[in-house]
């Protein structure tokens, strides 16, 4: 056997470098995280855009649509706990159940208002209003806990407020009722966050994300059924869908089914993103998602944008990113003190 052939056989039979397996696992983890984030962005935008499309294409029952979303989320979360190996947590006391009911009420109100406002205002303007959530959260924290923000956090919140005012003044598709619905959705979303920190501070009563979604979506579904019956009527959504079927409007039916699927899937993607990147990074990615949704809304729906509204949204986004950075720094400082 020649020396060249012997060296070739030795090279082919030699074991792979020790670092090959960790490198492959690291690459797989990166690709999995990127896929989870991309999926979260896609399905979140899908929910927003299909909500907007349906509510401006003949569907006049946003509460009924929310009921369907909650039913889908409840089925998803209960199925994940029952069949997918997620830990099953039960409510241990009446006090804990009341806490979850309070959270569910604010969650349901924020979802209904957030869905209904898209009938009146574009997605881009709604995303700008939604980005002011930290401002409301800081306000509710101060009212409930007398916990003031530091100087720089206060300045960042002022920047957020200024951006909202500039964008609102320059919004060419302004609608007062839609604006009030979007502000209510944002305020109740922030209130839910603050209440969650207050009500679930007891380690024994704390629920993980999947179980909290399981209970909240089920409770909201049950809460909204009588509301639908009184305000919209039990048959309004069904009549619209049956009317579209009779008219042969397959495009509407496709987007209706896709909307339900999107609302069903986005919860899983958000939980996966939080698992892979952590809560802090997830908040930053959420800011970027809002910007991406606003830009895509302008491109898809062709809603007009003024220099003032664009400047206001950029100012609000800058303020939110500044505030998130300061909160992250505070978290790092608190963690170092514990260690």
Residue boundaries of the structural domains of the chain: 43-331
b/e per residue, 58-93, with b = 16+ CB within 10 A?
ebebbbbbbbbbbbbbbebbbebbeeeebeebebee
Quote the radius of gyration of the chain (alpha carbons, Å).
Answer: 24
**pLDDT at residue 14 tops 60:** no
Residue 91 DSSP symbol: -
SS3 172: coil
With beta carbons less than 8 A apart as the criterion, state whether 90 and 176 touch. no
Closest CA to 74 of 211, 246, 233, 225: 211
Residue 280: band (very low, low, confident or very high) from pLDDT cuts 50, 70, 90: low
With beta carbons less than 8 A apart as the criterion, state whether 277 and 268 touch. no
Confidence (pTM): 0.83
Mean pLDDT of 285-312: 86
With beta carbons less than 8 A apart as the criterion, state whether 163 and 315 touch. yes
Residue-level pLDDT at 71: 92
Helix axes 279-301, 123-130, angle to 10 degrees: 160
Distance in angstroms (rounded) separating the CA atoms of residues 85 and 204: 21
**pLDDT at residue 93 tops 70:** yes
Mean pLDDT of 229-258: 89
């Amino acid at each position: 056997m020649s020396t060249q052939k012997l060296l070739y056989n030795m090279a082919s039979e030699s074991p792979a470098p020790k670092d090959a397996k960790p490198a492959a696992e690291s690459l797989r983890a990166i690709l999995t995280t990127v896929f989870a984030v991309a999926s979260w962005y896609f399905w979140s935008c899908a929910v927003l855009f299909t909500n907007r499309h349906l509510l401006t294409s003949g569907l006049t029952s946003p509460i009924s649509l929310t009921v369907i979303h909650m039913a889908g989320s409840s089925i998803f979360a209960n199925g994940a706990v029952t069949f997918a190996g997620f830990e099953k947590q039960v409510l241990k006391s009446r006090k804990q159940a009341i806490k979850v009911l309070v959270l569910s009420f604010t969650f349901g109100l924020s979802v209904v208002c957030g869905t209904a406002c898209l009938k009146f205002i574009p997605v881009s303007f709604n995303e700008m209003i939604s980005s002011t959530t930290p401002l409301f959260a800081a306000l509710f924290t101060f009212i409930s806990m007398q916990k003031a923000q530091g100087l720089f956090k206060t300045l960042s919140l002022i920047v957020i407020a200024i951006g909202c005012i500039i964008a609102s003044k320059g919004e060419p598709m302004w609608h007062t009722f839609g604006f009030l619905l979007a502000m209510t959705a944002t305020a109740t979303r922030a209130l839910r966050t603050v209440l969650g920190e207050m009500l679930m501070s007891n380690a024994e009563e704390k629920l993980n994300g999947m179980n909290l979604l399981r209970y909240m979506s089920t409770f909201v579904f049950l809460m909204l059924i009588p509301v639908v019956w009184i305000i919209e009527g039990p048959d309004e959504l069904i009549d619209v869908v049956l009317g579209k079927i009779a008219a042969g409007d397959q495009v509407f039916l496709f987007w209706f089914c896709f909307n339900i699927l999107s609302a069903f899937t986005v919860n899983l993607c958000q939980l996966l993103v939080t698992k892979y990147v952590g809560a802090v990074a997830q908040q930053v990615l959420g800011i970027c998602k809002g910007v991406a949704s606003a830009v895509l809304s302008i491109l898809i729906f062709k809603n007009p944008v003024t220099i003032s509204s664009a400047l206001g949204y950029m100012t609000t986004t800058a303020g939110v990113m500044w505030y998130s950075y300061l909160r992250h720094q505070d978290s790092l400082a608190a963690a170092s003190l514990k260690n």
